Every structure is written in C-alpha cells, then in structure tokens.
Structure 1
Amino acid sequence: MNMYLKNTLTALLIGAALLNQKEVKAQVKHTFDLGETQFLLDGKPFQMISGEMHYPRVPREAWRARMKMAKAMGLNTIGTYVFWNLHEPEKGKFDFKGDNDIAEFVMIAQQEGLWVILRPSPYVCAEWEFGGYPYWLQNEKGLTVRSKDTQYLAEYKKYILEVGKQLAPLQINHGGNILMVQIENEYGSFSDDKDYLKINENLFKEAGFDGLLYTCDPAADLAKGHLPGLLPAVNGLDDPAKVKKLINDNHGGKGPYYIAEWYPAWFDWWGTKHHTVPLAQYSGHLDSVLSAGISINMYMFHGGTTRGFMNGANFNDKNPFEPQISSYDYDAPLDEAGNATAKFMTFRKVIEKHLAPGVKLPAVPIAKPTISIDDINLTQAALVLANLPVANTNLRPLTFENLHQDYGFVLYRTNVTGGKTGILKLSQLRDYAVIMINGKTIGTLDRRLKQDSIKITLPAGKVRLDILVENMGRINFGKYLLQNTKGITEAVTFNKLELLNWQMYRLPYKTLTPIKFSKSVATVSSPILRAGTFNLSKVADTYLDMRKWGKGVIWVNGHNIGKYWSIGPQQTLYMPAEWLKKGINKVVVLELLKPKITSLSALDKPILDLLQ
C-alpha cells in the first residue's frame, strides 16, 4: 500500500471513529427537573452558576476561548438571548449561518463542558436595536408587538418555529445541553396579560421546546409577568430571603430559586460617564446567594461589543433619548476583549468556596497580547454626497421603514428658494441630522438634546438642502417600543412653511463596494468616507483611537466594528485579533463632523471613560 493510500485510509478510520463518538455522545440523555427547593440534574441537586454571553457580541472565532474563560471562573452554565432581527433581517429571509450560527455556539458550550440557559423570546431588550425585533414588523399595517394581535402572532410563530428547528434538538432531554428555555422577557415591566403569556408558552411547545420553560421579571413586576405553572425567575434581586419568598409566593410555596439576571455591572450610553460597579460591593452578595443554594445568571459575565448598527436606546417620559455605545464592556468580570478582570478573579475565589470536594477549576488563561499601531494614513477619500444610489422621490419625507431600510443613514434632499434667514424645523427627528446647504455642512440636530430646529441663512438663488439622518438605535425597553420609526418622521418646515418634493437616498452601508474612492476630493466640508491600509508583522488585539475624530462608523477588513463619537465616554473601538491578518489590512472611516482628518492610530488598551 503506498503512503498516500495508507494516510487516506488512516484519516477515514479516524474520522469514522470520531463520528461514532459524537453519535454516542449525542445519545446520552439527561434529565433536568424542578425539585422543591433545588434544580435536579439526573435526579440530583444542581446549582446553576451561569454567566450571560451573547454570540453576536463576540467574534465566532473567539466563542470557544470565551467558554474556556467561563469554566476558569467557575461557571457551569452560559445564558444567551436569541436575536430575531439577526435571524430574520427581512421578512421570510432567515439566517443562521456564520456569526449567526446560534446552534454552533450552543454545541461549543457543550464541548467545553457547559450547560446553556436559552432565551429565545422574540423580545430581548439587551440594549439591542428594537429590543431584538426586526425593523420590518413596523411595516405590517396595524401590527402591534408584544400583543395578541393576529399579525404579530403570525410572524412570531414563523420565527419561533425556525428557531425551534435550530435549537429544540439541543435541549437536555434530547441529548443536548440546553437546561431551560425562557418565554418572553421581563413582560411584567410591559403588561400583565396572562392569555398572551399562555400563547407564548404554546408557541414554544409547538416549536419543539418540550423541556423546562420559565419566565423572568424584576422583583416589582414578577407577579404581572409570571405565567402560573412555569418557574418564575427574578431579575435584579439578590437578598436570599427575599428571592425565596418572592418565588414561593408565585410558585405554590416552593422553588427552585433562580436569579435570571444578577447585575454585577452596568452598560453605557453616549454622553454620560462610564458605569462601573465596585467588586467589593458584590462579592459578598454572590457568596450569600450561592450559600443559600440559589442558582444565578450573571448579566453580564462577558459583554463584548455591539457592532454594526445594532445598539439600542432607552427613552421614557422622564429621561431623554439615550442611545447606547458600541462597547458592551459592561464592567463585567470578563472585559470587552475577553480578558479576566479583578472582578473575575474575586468572583472565582467566591465560587471556589462552593465547589464540590475535590473539584478544581482550570487555570485562568493569561491576558491576550495587544499591540499599538502608529499613524495609519487614510490616503483614499469619497464624499458621501458624491456616492449616492438611485433616489426615491416623494412629496414629503419618507421614514426608514417607508424606504424599506433597516439601519444606517438616509440622505434627504430638496431645493429651496434662497436669499432668506429663518428656522429650519424637523418635527420628530429620529435621531441625528447633519444639515448641509449646497454641499457644505452648516449644523447638526441631536434628538438626545431635544433639538429639532436650527437657524439658517440661505444664499440667493436656488439652494440645495441636504439632510443626512442617522438611526442612532431603536428604543429597546418600555412603551415606546411601539413608536420606533426612524428618519424624518413628520414634516420639514422653513419659517413655518412646509418643504416638499423630496429625494431620498438609502445609505445602509451594509457593504462599501459601491463607494468610489480617489486620492483627492474637490471640497472637504461635508461627511466623508476615508480609507487606508496598515501593515502588521504580528496580529493581536488593538483599540482604534478616535479621540481626535468627530462622529461616525469604522470598518476593518470588511467588518463593521462599531460607532464612535467624541462626546464619549467611549473613545476607542475594540479591534479583535481574529479579524486582523499579517500583512496588509484595510480600514474605512465614515466621518460626519470632522471631514479633514486623514489619519488615525491604535492603542494597546481601551479608553472607555473619557467625556469630551
């Protein structure tokens, strides 16, 4: 037998053996049940020590490494939402591939010895665009999310059935590692319709989720959001006695007891200080909860990054519009890049106290290497106004949804008779606008600051008015979920007279292929895209330093790595090593406010706490 045939046969035999091992492993089924006071795994008491980690906030290439970090801190379970707007970005078009391969995420957890708590409710909140709902639901006339509306339930059913195809076979009672599945999410903070919750339960069962189902709500809203018959879990409460009483009161006087979201940290939004929570304030709470036999899910164990245009926003009657930043570092035990923090090490010591005799945690992986990069010269440029697609025309401005556009930007254009000074008003602007006259930026409007008007002077003659509007993130929590259209949502007036006859250009920037770059541009007084390359002899994590820039979005090697804004607190954008390569790397910057800047650099550590 020649060496080639011998090697081929050996490879086939090894492959067959590995396949047989997987089949045997897949047939091993466990049981997971509710005891009087504890969860029962194969009939024995089991305490979940879980941490939340979201697959789209971590590069797929790094999923396994993050799982290993979870094991090293002492976690035995991972919690994750499932994001409807990722998996059905357009009606009827489902995507569970690549970075959206949630089934692979769950299976990697199993390979790393971790159980999973699955949270596939159509609404997730999660500081995520529209709370996870796809934008196109707003185009279904009369459809109302989180309701018994028949149109909503029809779309919901299609979606959850697709999720079931991916994930129901991975439940523990089918040989997988999914312990429990959550229906809805903090519904008690929104409403109290038990019939609606029952419909949720039935849809989940129809999708194949035939194991343990549960609900979760903040303590004050638990009674409203709990569906009798399912396990109620509580969010944001860690007093053992209060947790047990609350669950007992809503679950027939018994447990088990589960804190579905325990917050050892918090998230950030633009223009406010970086949120940190002292670890000393929470290590004792963790110890007391585990000592009481209560299961727990840390929200977040690892936040990661909200890349692209997927950040959400908060808004209510008391607070202004608050779009969240791209970093989801969260001051979590595992930082944005996946490295252990002091909080990680302290929590690990607490968890070690509660391990079974003889059980030892794996060593903590060392921090990943980082690099800094000297000035990257952006030698190519393209004006936004010179790279427009075919226009949509209408008498009045159309919203993003009217234009069938999900995220990014829309340019609104009309002509005005000049020679006047007056007030330009955009009623219900959502959310940020760059105002240009004859191709030159003359001001901005910011929904956060409740700005909808600007005084302008028009030169004589026919004047071209351009308004570049950015969707800064749809609201992800509260009653204003139902008022989430984007763009210019009402009339535009100048000196109280409505401006008509608009051209609208869709700029979702999902791909930059149509952009025509050149080495020079005639004028630099409006939003611009700048491109350049940098050469790496070694690959490691790095942080693009945007302190001298204004506001915009960055792509590196085709990956949209997030938004920046000089107001802070985030001043750097995390660039994972997994998306860099030795040799030439390409970067593109979309800059709205400071178009004359032509270089940037990268640091070996993040800046997440600087307001400017």
Structure 2
Amino acid sequence: MPDFTIGASDFLLDGRPFQIISGALHYFRVHPDCWADRIEKARQMGLNTIETYVPWNLHSPRPGEFDTTGILDLGRFLREVAEAGMYAIVRPGPYICAELDNGGLPPWLLRTEGLGVRRFEPQYMAAVTAYLQSVLEIVRPLQIDQGGPVVLVQVENEYGAFGDDQTYLKALAEVIRGAGTTVPLVTVDQPTDEMLSAGGLDGVLRTGSFGSRAEARLETLRKHQPTGPLMCMEFWDGWFDYWGGRHHTTSAADAAAELDALLAAGASVNIYMFHGGTNFGLTSGANDKGVYRATITSYDYDAPLDEAGHPTEKYFAFRDVISRYAQVPSSVPAAAPAAPEFNVALGEPVGLLGCSSGRWSDHRSVPALDELDARLAIFRTELRHGGPALLTFGEVRDRVQVFLDGAPVGILERERHERSLMLPHTRGRLELVVEDMGRVNYGPRIGEEKGLIGPVLLGADELHDWSVCGIDLDQPPRLWQSTPSAVVPGPTAWRATFEAERSDLFLRTDAWGKGYAWINGFNLGRYWRRGPQQTLYVPGPLLVDGTNELVVLELETLSPTASFAAEPWLGYTDL
C-alpha cells in the first residue's frame, strides 16, 4: 500500500517529495449526484487533492444520531475522490466554523448544563469522542495506507483564535489516533505568533490560513515549525456574503499571483474554496461582532468553480499557475448551456396565521425556539387592555413580525438592535412570527439560545398564556388540509407545479419579500429581498423529467409568479 509521511522539509509519498495542491469542496454543500462532476473539474484544474470539513451538527441533528445518508454520505464522497485518482484531506473539527450554523457544533450539545465548549471538560469530551469515533469509522478504511485517498486528518480548527487549552488539543489528537488514524495529523491557525503558539500542538504539523502576503506568512509559520513541510491549509481566494451586504469578489490576477508565490516557495496549498456550493436549507451561519450579520444561502465564495459548478476566470488563472509546477490534464470543462427561462403562476395560497394545524402547545411564558426544536414559530396570546402601549422584548434573536388581529404592526430585527415597538391598541389577538436567521459560527456567541430572550412586556407588565406553533422547515409546510384563502397579511404558503428536465435552474426571488423555497420537497434555502443574492440555485438532480412541485413560504408579500432565470444573480459587488 502507498505510504504518506512527513519528511524534514516535504510531504513524502512512498519516500518521494510530494507537493499537495488541494481544493476545498464540502460534500454537504453540493448535491451528491454532482460530486463526481465537481471532483473531475478539480482534477482538470490541476489539483491532486480534495479537502472537506465534516459538519457534526448536520450529521447529528439530535443526540445519539449520526446520519450518513444522501448529501451526508462522507464515505461515498471519499470513494468518488479516490475513483478520480485524487487524494483527500479530512477536517472533522469538532468545531469547523465554515460559515455554517453554530460553526458545526450541534445546538443540543451546547444546551447541556455546565458544558465547557472547546476545552477539556468531561461532558464535552465524551460527546466529542463519540462523534469523532463515528467519523473516523468511515475514514479509517479510506486512508492511503489502506488503499484509500485520505492523506491528512486535522485536529480542531483555528483553535488559536479561540483558546489555548493544550490538554484539550492533546486529548483530541489521542482520540483521533485511538480511532485508528495512521496518516499524519495537522492543525491550522492564522499565521500570527499568538495563534500559532496557542493553537499548535507538539508532534502535529502546523499549517496556516491566509489569502495574501504568502512569503511573510510562510516565514512566520516556519519560525514556529523549524522542520517539516510548509502548508497553507486555507488559501482564501474569495469570501462569503451576508444579507444586506455586497457580493464579495476578489481579483483573479491577484489571487493567482499569491498562489504562484506559495507554489514557488515549495509550499503545499489547499484552496479555500475551490467550489463553495450552497447553504441549502437552514445550514448557513452568522457572525456577531457587535452587529449580527446572517450569512446568505449561496456559498459561491467567488471560487474558481461557481455555485452551479461552472469554471470562472479564476479557474483558468489558477490552472495556468498550477501548470508551472505540476502536470495539468489537457482537457478542460465543457461550456455549460444557459439554464431555461420560464414563468409559473403560484396558486392555492394558505395563510400561516389562520392555520390551526401544526405543533401547537401552551406556555405560561414565551419559550425559546430551542425548546420548540424549531427555527420559525408563531406565538399567540389575547390582549385585554385597551389603549396604545409599548411592546418590549429582552432580546430578539433574530427577527420578529408583530400582528394584531391579523394586521401587521411592525418588524423588529436583531441586526438593528431593535427590541420594542408601539402597539396602536392592546385589545385582541397578538401574534408574533419569530425567526432564527442562523446561529453565530465564530466567537463567544456560539451556542446561544434563539427566539425571544427574556420576558415579553406590555408596558411594565409581562405577557403570559401563550399558544405556540413551531414550523418544521425541513419539509414544505403541510398546510393544504386547511382551506386555501385569498392573499392575507403575514406568512403565506404558495405552491405550483411545472414541467422541466433534469437540468440546473435559477429561481428568481427579486419580486418576493423574505422566505423559503422547496423543490420537490427539498429546501433550497432562504431568500430575502434585502440581497445581495436574488436567485436560488436549483441543482438539476433535484428535478424529475416531467412534473415538479415548487412550494414557497413567504413571510411578507410576493408577486404570485415564480420566474426562472438563465443565470444566477448574486448581487452587486459595491454598495
């Protein structure tokens, strides 16, 4: 079997120097029937390795579960990498950041009383050990010395930006080794003295994460690691977007020049991202460094391969650079035809506020969304006061729409630090539609509760006696047992059928307000008029030849037409 080790200055493949030229491709952000296509395009660009994170929260949405079906079939993904003649790097965390909801940590875990996150604490370590053993049971037979593609496994992720618990890092490494991992282990940190010292581990190869000033960054990395190969584990070639911001792009020429500097220095590299893919469903995270910013559905990242898997200018610029240091295949990806453009009328609207079906429960005080196991919920109570009064929340995480007797009163958003509004009267049915826009994935606010935090006050008095309905967004809302209605204020579900072939589509959302869309039961993700993105990517494998179903849950108002565009629109690059 092949042998992959760390030498005095290089990675060694069967005893010979080997320069890793890798690209990040997250299996959980790409439809599984598209994996082989994306992997082949990576090979055609000149890459010899594919890197992926492993998302604990997606594999284990509930305690005791470890789902490996469909888009979460890590074993299938790694086997497809091997079938393409490429190697693989696995980064299982347990914390991965990745602009993913909660940084990849399961929300249920962080609700454990007394749990110490990302440190050597018994409850946390017990859960992490079980998780890593589940991942590595898949990875172990797919290591290079077992005939598989995996050449490296990462310990934690940019830990130096969070803490310095060496006992914790050593324990993680021991768990990984104890689960049968024989390939070299690595850590990754931004190349500063503080982070490399805090996040590194003796006996484990340190790697860096950066997107510019390659020579200086490698010099800092070498200072902390006198021997062994130099590697940029995350060469940032683009960036992610947040709702209300601009679409981030970077210069292809500048990124290619930085890649050239890395490869010329003999360093190995993992391009983050080679292909970003999509934050399908409710998987996107958020940042909060004083202002809450929710990550959008697209994870295009301005990568060499765009969200739909098409090569960009950056793809060919990188391919040209790589060709100076390694053999590049003669073939290139074929040009993709434009997606079909057509319109479909949406029909059968059902108002969510008037629907009696669903998971209703009674509560004395407002529960957190976590208690409901929901990301969207309706809260309902009766007011028996009279005149105008101020409605106040302790904290809104992340958005609440307020209705009185079915009429909209206003919207409060965490992003704007809004917590109160004036009700014009205080007699009748008060309804609140509360939405979790994505959990923070970086920094001290990881793991926080979602929903309405603290008491709900009307004037100085707390409101009690709530009926609450959690909405399951993993599948289209099952509302049509209710009577379809005329368009009413507030959240409304719409559906339509359309004829199509199994080819990619781009669903336009610019004429809609805010909500979610499903194709044939699959949640494409969030949309929002705020932008920057104004299309949702529909992978061809989601469709069937013939009749397909579209369901839209609109929280505000929409034009009752679904339009499909020829190309994606991810927003303006300047505001």
Shared fold, TM over 0.5: yes
Q: Give 1:25's aligned residue.
A: none
Q: CA deviation at 1:248?
A: 2.8
Q: Which amino acid aligns with 1:415?
A: E
> How far apart are the structure 1 equivalents of 2:348 and 2:486?
13
Contact 2:477 / 2:493 at 8 angstroms: preserved in 1? no
Contact 2:476 / 2:518 at 8 angstroms: preserved in 1? no
Q: 1:497 aligns with which of 458, 461, 467?
A: 461
Q: Which amino acid aligns with 1:580?
A: L
Contact 1:352 / 1:361 at 8 angstroms: preserved in 2? no
Other structure's SS at 2:388 match: strand
Other structure's SS at 1:391 match: strand
Q: 1:526 aligns with which of 487, 490, 498?
A: 490
Q: Which amino acid aligns with 1:117?
A: I
Alignment of 1:6-155 (within 5 A): 29-155=1-127
Q: Give 1:413's aligned residue.
A: 380
**1:548-580, Cα deviation, whole Å (9 max, x unpaired):** 100000001111111100010011101111212
Q: CA deviation at 1:430?
A: 0.6
Alignment of 1:329-344 (within 5 A): 329-344=300-315
Q: Which amino acid aligns with 2:409?
A: I
Q: 2:366 aligns with which of 388, 397, 412?
A: 397
Confirm whether residue 324 of structure 1 aligns to residue 295 of structure 2: yes
Contact 2:506 / 2:535 at 8 angstroms: preserved in 1? yes
> How far apart are the structure 1 equivalents of 2:477 and 2:219?
58
Q: CA deviation at 1:280?
A: 1.3
Larger radius of gyration: 1
Q: Give 1:602's aligned residue.
A: 564
Q: 1:546 aligns with which of 497, 506, 509?
A: 509
Other structure's SS at 2:307 match: coil
Q: Give 2:187's aligned residue.
A: 215
Q: CA deviation at 1:522?
A: 4.7
Contact 1:182 / 1:213 at 8 angstroms: preserved in 2? yes
Other structure's SS at 1:91 match: coil
**1:185-232, Cα deviation, whole Å (9 max, x unpaired):** 000000111111111111111222222111000112122100111100
Q: Give 1:310's aligned residue.
A: 283
Q: Which amino acid aligns with 1:112?
A: A
Change (3 A) 1:145 1:367: farther
Q: CA RMSD in A?
A: 1.7
Q: Which amino acid aligns with 1:254?
A: T
Q: 1:557 aligns with which of 520, 528, 543?
A: 520
> How far apart are the structure 2 equivalents of 1:240 and 1:94?
39
**Worse-superposed segment, 233-242 or 266-275:** 233-242
Confirm whether residue 510 of structure 1 aligns to residue 477 of structure 2: no
Q: CA deviation at 1:474?
A: 0.4
> How far apart are the structure 1 equivalents of 2:473 and 2:420?
27
Q: TM-score, normalised by structure 2?
A: 0.96
Change (3 A) 1:604 1:523: closer
Alignment of 1:174-193 (within 5 A): 174-193=146-165
Contact 1:84 / 1:132 at 8 angstroms: preserved in 2? yes
Q: Which amino acid aligns with 1:372?
A: P
Other structure's SS at 2:369 match: coil
**1:252-311, Cα deviation, whole Å (9 max, x unpaired):** x11210100001111100001110001111111111111111000011010010010000
**Worse-superposed segment, 364-373 or 185-194:** 364-373
Q: Which amino acid aligns with 2:210?
A: G
Q: CA deviation at 1:40?
A: 0.4
> How far apart are the structure 2 equivalents of 1:522 and 1:239?
59
**Worse-superposed segment, 436-445 or 289-298:** 436-445
Q: Give 1:162's aligned residue.
A: 134
> How far apart are the structure 2 equivalents of 1:450 and 1:511?
31
Q: Give 2:452's aligned residue.
A: 488
Q: Give 1:372's aligned residue.
A: 340
| Matched residue count | 571
Change (3 A) 1:466 1:256: same
Q: CA deviation at 1:351?
A: 0.5
Q: CA deviation at 1:237?
A: 5.4
Q: CA deviation at 1:238?
A: 5.0
Contact 2:211 / 2:237 at 8 angstroms: preserved in 1? no
Q: Give 2:317's aligned residue.
A: 346
> How far apart are the structure 1 equivalents of 2:124 and 2:43?
39
Change (3 A) 1:498 1:34: same
Q: CA deviation at 1:418?
A: 4.1
Change (3 A) 1:207 1:519: same
Q: Give 1:275's aligned residue.
A: 248
Contact 1:381 / 1:518 at 8 angstroms: preserved in 2? no
Other structure's SS at 2:475 match: coil
Confirm whether residue 285 of structure 1 aligns to residue 285 of structure 2: no
Other structure's SS at 2:65 match: coil
Q: 2:219 aligns with which of 237, 245, 249?
A: 245
Q: 2:352 aligns with which of 372, 381, 384?
A: 384
Change (3 A) 1:514 1:475: same
Contact 1:426 / 1:493 at 8 angstroms: preserved in 2? yes
Contact 1:380 / 1:518 at 8 angstroms: preserved in 2? no
Confirm whether residue 448 of structure 1 aligns to residue 415 of structure 2: yes
**Worse-superposed segment, 191-200 or 363-372:** 363-372
- Identity of counterpart residues, as a percentage? 37
Other structure's SS at 1:197 match: helix
**Worse-superposed segment, 389-398 or 29-38:** 389-398
Point out 4+ residue stretches in structure 1 off by more than 6 angstroms.
Answer: none
**Worse-superposed segment, 218-227 or 108-117:** 218-227
Q: CA deviation at 1:408?
A: 2.6
> How far apart are the structure 2 equivalents of 1:441 and 1:554?
23
**Worse-superposed segment, 67-76 or 276-285:** 276-285
> How far apart are the structure 2 equivalents of 1:292 and 1:505?
58
> How far apart are the structure 2 equivalents of 1:240 and 1:435?
51
Q: TM-score, normalised by structure 1?
A: 0.91
**Worse-superposed segment, 231-240 or 394-403:** 231-240
Other structure's SS at 1:490 match: strand
Other structure's SS at 1:248 match: helix
Q: CA deviation at 1:450?
A: 1.1
Other structure's SS at 1:468 match: strand
Contact 1:50 / 1:75 at 8 angstroms: preserved in 2? yes
Structure 1: 5+ residue stretches without partners: 1-28
Contact 1:419 / 1:457 at 8 angstroms: preserved in 2? no
**1:128-159, Cα deviation, whole Å (9 max, x unpaired):** 00000111113322223212221111111111
Contact 1:369 / 1:541 at 8 angstroms: preserved in 2? no
Q: CA deviation at 1:609?
A: 1.1
Q: Which amino acid aligns with 2:449?
A: T
Confirm whether residue 205 of structure 1 aligns to residue 170 of structure 2: no
Q: CA deviation at 1:54?
A: 0.3
